[in-house]
Amino acid sequence: MKAIITLAALLVSTAALANDIDPNGFEKEAFISSASRADVKRDLQIAQANGELSMGERGMKVIDEPSTKTRAQVAAEARNSKHVYGEASVE
């Protein structure tokens, strides 16, 4: 009888530990910033002014100018293109 109770307790405790979200305790560690909010904002403005911010997966900048092509022209170019779109591919 004791063996059955011990086995049941062991199985229940194992299941409880298997569902632990943070087994290493990373959530309990506090993040301490080395820069103030003002420092981060200043660094962001400097990087934006110098054009150092990358946009997208491959570091390409966003194009802000309006397109002069028709929808059909863009669709035809996309069908004939050899470029890979979506997730960045390893080359």
What are the tens digits of pLDDT across the range 6-43? 877 776 665 555 556 777 777 777 777 788 999 999 99
Comparing CA positions, the residue from 31, 89, 27 lying closest to residue 58 is 89
What is the structure's pLDDT at 78? 86
Mean model confidence pLDDT for the chain: 77
Half-sphere exposure of 24 (CA within 13 A, CB side): 1
Q: Model's pTM, two decimal places?
A: 0.33
Q: Specify whether the CB–CB gap between 69 and 75 falls below 8 A.
A: no
Instruction: Retrieve residue 31's tokens.
Output: 């993040």
Is pLDDT larger for residue 5 or for residue 77? 77
Least confident of 46-55, 63-72, 80-89: 80-89
d(CA 58, CA 61): 9
